[in-house]
């Protein structure tokens, strides 16, 4: 009985390791099948949970409010934003083709809720991660390199609209 449990646990460990390897390699190589599935899970499950606290003081995630370029609907998407001089940088692990990025680029502006404060942001520009490394913390750079994140979105903070 004990040997069976050990074999089951070892098998489970191998399966989890294989899934982790496929995830990491798929994200690093930007494999559409992996990226699309990760985006689907994030949109359907993870984002809903993260939005509960995103944007509040001390939260690790911010919220970007944007308008659908085709639908005209209002959307809120949790993102990881990093304050820089004059604005924010947002790593784009799925690349610049993510719907929220296309919406912000098309509108030319959005509203960002970061650390409890709401900002109007504009001049969205996709920039190579390599050109903004001096503006990013070392821990963030390690993560971006691990997942081969080659693009960031630069947002200019126009004004602090209000506190939330």
Residue 133 has pLDDT above 90, yes or no: yes
Residue 100 has pLDDT above 80, yes or no: yes
In the sheet with 151-163, reading across from the earlier edge strand, the strands are: 74-79, 62-67, 109-114, 117-128, 151-163, 87-91, 81-84
pLDDT at 161: 66
The architecture in CATH of the region 53-163 reads Roll (2.30)
Average pLDDT over residues 98-108: 96
Distance CA 118, CA 39 (A): 26
Measured over the CA atoms of residue 132, residue 134, residue 140 and residue 142, the dihedral's sign is positive
Write the pLDDT tens digit of every residue in 54-88.
999 999 999 999 999 999 999 999 999 999 999 99
Q: What pTM does this model have? A: 0.81
Average pLDDT over residues 140-163: 87
| Nearest CA among 28, 16, 10, 11 for reference residue 146 | 28
Collect all residues with Cβ–Cβ distance below 8 Å to 47 and sequence separation of at least 6.
77, 78
Write the pLDDT tens digit of every residue in 2-49.
888 888 888 888 888 887 777 777 777 788 888 888 788 888 888 899
pLDDT at 164: 45
pLDDT at 89: 97
Distance CA 63, CA 91 (A): 14
């Amino acid at each position: 009985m004990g040997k069976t449990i050990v074999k089951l646990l070892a098998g489970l460990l191998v399966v989890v390791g294989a899934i982790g390897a496929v995830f990491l390699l798929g994200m690093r190589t930007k494999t559409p099948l992996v990226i699309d599935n990760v985006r689907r899970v994030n949109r359907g499950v993870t984002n809903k949970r993260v939005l509960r606290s995103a944007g509040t003081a001390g939260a690790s995630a911010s919220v970007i409010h944007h308008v659908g370029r085709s639908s005209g609907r209002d959307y809120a998407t949790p993102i990881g934003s990093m304050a820089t001089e004059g604005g924010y940088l947002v790593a784009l692990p799925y690349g610049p083709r993510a719907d929220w990025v296309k919406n912000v680029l098309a509108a030319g502006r959005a509203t960002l809720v970061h650390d409890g404060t709401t900002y109007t942001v504009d001049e969205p520009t996709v920039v190579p991660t390599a050109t903004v490394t001096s503006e990013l913390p070392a821990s963030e750079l390690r993560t971006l390199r691990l997942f081969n994140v080659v693009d960031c979105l630069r947002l200019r903070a126009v004004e602090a609209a209000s506190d939330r």
